[in-house]
Amino acid sequence: MDGMVAVAAILGGSMDVWVLQDYDDDESWAHRHRVDCLPPPFLQTRWVINANAGRHKNNNNDVIIVLQDSSGSWVGLYDLSNKRLLKQIQVISDPREDG
Q: Give the Cα-Cα-Cα angle 59, 63, 79 (nearest 5 degrees).
A: 100
Q: For all residues of the chain together, what is the average pLDDT? A: 82
d(CA 46, CA 17): 15
pLDDT tens figures, 1-59: 777 888 888 888 788 989 999 988 888 999 998 888 888 888 888 888 887 654 444 45
**Per-residue pLDDT, 99:** 55
In percent, the amount of the chain with pLDDT more than 90 equals 21
Lowest mean pLDDT among 12-16, 26-30, 72-76, 94-98: 94-98
Q: State the pTM of this model.
A: 0.72
